[in-house]
A and B are shown apart, each in its own frame.
Chain A
Amino acid sequence: MHSSWMRIQNVFSYFTTVLFALGACIAVSDLLTPRAPVVNSLKFTNLQVVRGRPHYYSSKHEEYAIIKFSLDADLSSLFTWNTKDVFVYVTAEWPSSSSASANTTTNQAVIWDTIITAPSSDYLGNYGPATLKKLRKSAAGKSIDPSRGKLVLKNQRPKYQITHPSGKIASTEDVTLRLHYDVQPWVGVLMRNHNVDVGLWKKLEGSVSRTFTLPSLKKKDEAKKAKA
């Protein structure tokens, strides 16, 4: 009895050791795979600032900006056998008005995001049956699908209107859009985009749009006035 219990223990501890070693190897294998994501273009296409409730659950009226944008990016090299999904998001960034001289970005808000699943994690994604079928078909027989991660968006509506705690956002200057990604592995280290090359992983080129100024508050106000 005693020795069979010990055998079970030994088998179990050996099993877990092997499993963890394997996991570590897989995690390290990521470092050996080159990554060269690139953003070909990122620019705003339409700007709008209105006053109202940004969400159905907001309690107060405030100014919010709607930034439409176009994007052409190729993040397909982020997909390796250890990639579970890639979270891609576009932020708007602007310096705070009080320290405009400082070049550091102090306000940052996500305006749009998407989750690109790797073929291995399609089943986990929040997809409808039709989309899932299409994804399955496109990746049939492949563990890495090169078509994933190629993003072409034209005049995309933002998913999130941006606000500022002060309630004011109209006429904000020096706003830029920036594309980010966050690679979620099956096992290992989460890796965000970086501004310097890390080993075989190239920095994300062209991820920042040129600066622009948000328009002054009008449209909805005017529309309201017109109604009144």
Chain B
Amino acid sequence: MSQQEKISVYNLADLKNTTDDAIPNYLNSLGFTQSHTLSDVRLGLGYLALLTAAACFAWDYQLGFEATKLPTAAAVALYAVLNTALTVWIFFVERGAVYVGTSPDGRARVRLTSASVRGAVPEYRLTAEVSDAATGRVRETVEVRRGFNAWFDAAGRFVAAPFQVVLAGQVGVIGQADPKRREAAAAEGKGTTGRVVDESVSAGYTPEMLAALQGAEATGAEAEAGKKGGKRRKA
């Protein structure tokens, strides 16, 4: 998928979006069940607004302005309401969530949110909120900050393994589902199931480490080859 294609490493929005896109692939391959409620509501509100505008355009085109003032006024009001609702939904409910889902064992609910890139700092800021699936109580909130160069090569190709190691190493639930990556993270000498961690911006992988990770990737992929979604992860 998107990992295959090269992006401009100077385009921060592209860096973030490509990274965002990799999260569902990885987590779903681990057996997480993704919930699409957030995006479905957003799409519903949006398309309803679009439909309102289209209807308004149609009758305005057919019958003219004078004859359709009242319905047009109503449509404008409805469109404003829908658009406001959409904005509220995006800013206060979705809050930049890139993945909402339940862990393979069904006990934990994760919500991953990535902050939009600010200024010219090439840094990925991910917040993982893990809550109890049954009670909804928040168990832990982990904030991960890493330079994009930790998983993008100089040519702008996304390399999945180091990114997955970061996730597995930092977020407990993901680590549980992917012990191999968690071990790799531990081997790296960084905090394992760290709480709020303030990483240095550049992770600085040595070539040997990358080689080791590639090995882990290969075995991991083989081990899961039978599972659904395994090929996605490999990329």
Contacts and interface: CB of A to CB of B under 8 A. Distances in A.
Interface of A: 2-3, 6
Nearest to A6: B11
Nearest to B14: A2
B8 interface: yes
B157 to A, nearest CB: 16
B10 interface: yes
A9 to B, nearest CB: 12
Nearest to A3: B11
Contacts of B8: 2-3
A2 B7 CA distance: 10
Interface of B is mostly: loop
A127 B8 CA distance: 59
A6 B10 CA distance: 12
A42 B10 CA distance: 71
Contacts of A6: 11
Interface of A is mostly: helix
B148 to A, nearest CB: 15
5 contacts: A2-B8, A2-B11, A2-B14, A3-B8, A3-B11
A10 to B, nearest CB: 12
B28 to A, nearest CB: 29
A6 B11 CA distance: 10
Contacts of A2: 8, 11, 14
A3 B11 CA distance: 6
Nearest to A1: B8
Interface string B1-17: 00000001011001000
A3 B10 CA distance: 8
B34 to A, nearest CB: 29
Nearest to B12: A3
Contacts of A3: 8, 10-11
Interface string B166-201: 000000000000000000000000000000000000
B14 to A, nearest CB: 8
A6 B8 CA distance: 12
Contacts of B10: 3
Nearest to B10: A3
A2 B14 CA distance: 10
A68 B8 CA distance: 77
Contacts of B14: 2
A6 B14 CA distance: 12
A6 B7 CA distance: 14
A212 to B, nearest CB: 43
Nearest to B13: A6
A99 B8 CA distance: 78
A14 to B, nearest CB: 16
Nearest to B8: A3
B188 to A, nearest CB: 32
A90 B85 CA distance: 54
A223 B11 CA distance: 88
A206 B193 CA distance: 85
A7 to B, nearest CB: 10
